Amino acid sequence: MKIFVDFASYLQSLNKKDFERYLAIFLITVTILVLLINYYIYSKSSNLLDKIKNMETTVRKTTKIIQEYEELESKEQELQKLLEQNRDFSIKAFFEEFCSQNQILPVPGWEAITQPLLGSDRFDEVVISATFKNQTTQKLVNILDLLEKTEMVYIKELVIKKTDNKKIDFDLTIATKKYVG
């Protein structure tokens, strides 16, 4: 309490000019301190808001990745069950039978090739690439429709070439997956 009394008596002893000068210095100092504190709070809150936005974005991306992973896991389990149900399935035998049933003849030289499936250590991919010459567009559409309905085989690539006699040649690549454990 004595400090306040001493301070009050000091202020009373000052002349008006000194008092106004000290008061102005005090107000300017307080104003500068308030501005610095406001700036500090603003910059910290802006940084925190930016971090929160980044975290929200990361959470959304992570959630999406987790959902995609769960979908892939589910599809892999379904595929594994399908492959276990059809253990004797051979894409080569399927392709030969498919060609004879649909009365199409591939150019000789096609072969079933097994290759590792990118991104999976549990499955390999068995691929057959064949070329068919002098076919009609209607025949191609029928073939594609039948292949699309086949559960064990999928169309990997199709290249169509037009010929001079209003027929088409096409290179068809089909594939299936093989469980390797």
pLDDT class of 181 with cuts at 50, 70, 90: low
Domain check: are 92 and 75 in the same one? no
Give 67's pLDDT tier (boundaries 50, 70, 90): very high
Mean pLDDT over the full length of the chain: 88
Q: Are residues 35 and 15 in the same domain?
A: yes
CATH of the domain at 114: 3.30.70.60
Q: Do 127 and 71 belong together in one domain?
A: no
* 132, 174 Cβ separation under 8 angstroms: no
Token duo for residue 122: 């549990």
User: Which of 25, 60, 85 is at the close of a domain?
Assistant: 85
pLDDT single digits (tens) 111-160: 888 888 777 777 788 899 999 888 888 888 998 998 898 888 889 999 99
Residues 167 and 116 in one domain: yes
Q: What is the mean pLDDT of residues 88-108?
A: 87
Burial environment of residue 91 by CB neighbours within 10 A (0 to 12, 13 to 18, 19 or more)? buried
Which residue type does 111 have?
Answer: E
Tokens of 75: 């599809």
Residue-level pLDDT at 122? 76
65 and 12 in one domain?
A: yes
Select the more confidently predicted residue: 14 or 71.
71
Q: How many CB atoms lie within 10 A of CB 19?
A: 13
Whether residues 153 and 129 share a domain: the answer is yes
- Based on the fold, state whether residues 112 and 60 are members of the same structural domain: no
> DSSP character for 128?
E
